[in-house]
């Protein structure tokens, strides 16, 4: 069940909030149990066949977390948990890809392909596994104490706002709120407005410009021209941002309405002035996990330059694989690893002399090129698409553009650009932004505009077909 569906908005969410807040605040365990039941119902709605996977893997990590501190075999318990979780992830997410590649090689050498019945991918498996791994590692490191109440731990794993597509919320970030949390009208208001803005990002911006991106990426090379190719990848660049950022806003908003502070996941990634800066702003919860649980344990940047570069490549190859079992995702990860390595080799005395707006434009173009691989079906198609994008000096026509994007599409593409780059488009004065943010007029206007976005989004949803969030498949 998508957050951006009529069923969720006016059925599931409304009933959930009414019953939740009808339970007296002093009965926090009753509220937790209710949220846990609702979270499982939410998962059953989207993937009923995989509920045993969610429950049994939760049970396993609950006991392994306790055993880490109760036995003298911490490393063994950690290893069992990692093997279990990564084994499940590998089987469900990558086995189809692996068998397919092996079969292709066998056919190439004249052998029969492997017999294999494709495995269905459990909804949100990457996020579920990351939540459980982060908990076990933090318990192992002593960052968190193991949760002794099974239902509280199960709630952490299955909390439905973040269950399917994050943000990846580490246990220590909300452990106190699992036991006791504050519920205020201000928190409900903040959460509701945040949810409405996230809904608008998804339904009004991402889904609208995504139609143009889909149309253009379905064209053959012969039908592509330079301006059409750039329009297509620009639309996808903003689509994937507002689709995922919209989901994160909605998850954070629902969390606030029930007293949870789910961490931020985006911070204007397209105003980054380097690839390193981009990854500090894009999918922040994933970046932090990869840094803390993989890059630093590998040695981070405390080792030789060659080893540091190798660590970066390993991290981003796995980052690409995390997003999907496909060579295009792997190449996308390698691409970003190479860019980060290249940045580290450039002397600061050179980059320090480049104006900030040129660094921003250069970084944006590099990120945009990377999204071509992320969106394409094959690496060959991606290179073909990029070849058209940079085929300067040849005749090209814009005659097809009016048939590929509507006036509404242009409008929301411009809105997407303004919202993505607004610190540069509206001035960067911190004082002015603080005055505006603290004014009562702004706060009331913010709420009124949220209601307008909600109404317009609902009207749009009532006349559109189901369009799931892009990150649901990860």
Sign of the torsion formed by the C-alpha atoms of 199, 203, 204 and 207: positive
Show the tokens assigned to 229: 């190719």
How many CB atoms are closer than 10 A to CB 407? Answer: 8
* Nearest CA among 67, 47, 321, 267 for reference residue 160: 47
Are 256 and 269 in contact, with CB atoms under 8 Å apart? Answer: no
CB 38 within 8 A of CB 104: no
Report, as residue numbers or ranges, the catalytic residues. Answer: 323
Instruction: Retrieve residue 258's tokens.
Output: 């029930």
Q: Where are the alpha helices (DSSP H) in 90-124?
A: 95-108
Report how far residue 454's alpha carbon sits from residue 3's, in angstroms, rounded to the nearest whole number: 12
Neighbours of 392 (CB within 10 A): 7
End-to-end Cα separation, the chain, in angstroms: 16
Cis before 167 (ω within 30): yes
Residue 19 to residue 31: CA distance in whole angstroms? 9
Q: Which long-range contacts (CB under 8 A, 24 or more apart) does 16-25 make?
A: 17/257, 17/258, 20/258, 21/183, 25/183
- Could you give the CA distance from residue 441 to residue 350 in angstroms, rounded to a whole number? 45
The answer to whether residues 315 and 294 touch, using CB atoms and an 8 Å cutoff, is yes
Rg of the chain over all Cα atoms, to the nearest angstrom: 23
Distance CA 409, CA 404 (A): 9
Q: 3-state SS of 307-333?
A: HHHHHHHHHHHHHHHHHCCCHHHHHHH
Phi and psi torsions of 386, nearest 5°: -65, -35
Taking the C-alpha atoms of residue 356 and residue 367, their distance in angstroms, rounded to an integer, is 16
Q: Which helix (H) or strand (E) holds 408?
A: helix 407-425
CA distance 432 to 161: 33
3-class secondary structure, 159:
coil
Q: Which residues contact 345 (CB under 8 A, 6 or more apart)?
A: none
């Amino acid at each position: 069940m998508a957050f951006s569906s009529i069923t969720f908005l006016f059925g599931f969410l409304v009933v959930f909030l009414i019953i939740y807040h009808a339970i007296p605040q002093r009965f926090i365990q009753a509220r937790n149990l209710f949220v846990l039941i609702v979270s499982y119902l939410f998962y059953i709605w989207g993937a009923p066949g995989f509920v045993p996977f969610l429950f049994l893997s939760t049970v396993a990590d609950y006991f392994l977390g306790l055993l880490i501190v109760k036995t003298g075999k911490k490393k063994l318990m950690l290893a069992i948990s990692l093997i279990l979780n990564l084994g499940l992830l590998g089987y469900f997410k990558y086995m189809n890809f692996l068998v397919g590649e092996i079969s292709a090689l066998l056919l190439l050498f004249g052998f029969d392909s492997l017999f294999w019945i494709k495995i269905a991918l459990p909804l949100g498996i990457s996020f579920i596994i990351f939540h459980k791994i982060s908990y076990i590692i933090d318990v192992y490191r002593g960052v968190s104490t193991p949760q002794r109440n099974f239902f509280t731990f199960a709630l952490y794993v299955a909390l439905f706002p973040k269950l399917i597509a994050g943000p990846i919320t580490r246990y220590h970030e909300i452990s106190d709120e699992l036991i006791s949390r504050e519920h205020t009208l201000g928190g409900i208001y903040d959460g509701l407005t945040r949810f409405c803005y996230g809904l608008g990002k998804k339904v009004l911006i991402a889904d609208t410009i995504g139609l143009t991106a889909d149309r253009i990426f379905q064209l053959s090379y012969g039908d592509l021209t330079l301006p059409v190719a750039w329009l297509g990848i620009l639309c996808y660049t903003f689509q994937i941002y507002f689709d995922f950022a919209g989901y994160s806003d909605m998850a954070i908003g629902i969390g606030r309405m029930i007293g949870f502070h789910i961490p931020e996941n985006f911070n204007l990634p397209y105003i980054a002035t380097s690839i390193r800066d981009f990854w500090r702003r894009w999918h922040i919860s994933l970046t932090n996990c990869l840094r803390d649980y993989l890059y630093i344990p590998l040695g981070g940047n405390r080792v030789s330059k060659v080893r540091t570069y190798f660590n970066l490549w390993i991290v981003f190859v796995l980052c690409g694989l995390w997003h999907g079992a496909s060579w295009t995702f792997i190449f996308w990860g390698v691409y970003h690893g190479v860019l980060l390595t290249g940045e580290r080799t450039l002397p600061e005395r050179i980059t320090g002399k480049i104006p900030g707006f040129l660094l921003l434009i250069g970084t944006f173009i590099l990120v945009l090129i990377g999204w071509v691989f992320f969106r394409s079906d094959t690496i060959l198609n991606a290179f073909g698409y990029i070849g058209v994008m940079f085929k300067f000096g040849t005749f090209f026509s814009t005659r097809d553009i009016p048939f590929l994007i509507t006036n509404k599409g242009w409008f929301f593409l411009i809105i997407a650009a303004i919202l993505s780059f607004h610190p540069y488009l509206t001035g960067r004065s911190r004082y002015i932004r603080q005055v505006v943010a603290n004014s009562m007029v702004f706060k009331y206007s913010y709420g009124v505009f949220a209601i307008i976005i909600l109404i317009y989004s609902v009207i749009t949803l009532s006349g559109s077909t189901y369009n799931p969030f892009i990150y649901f498949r990860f």
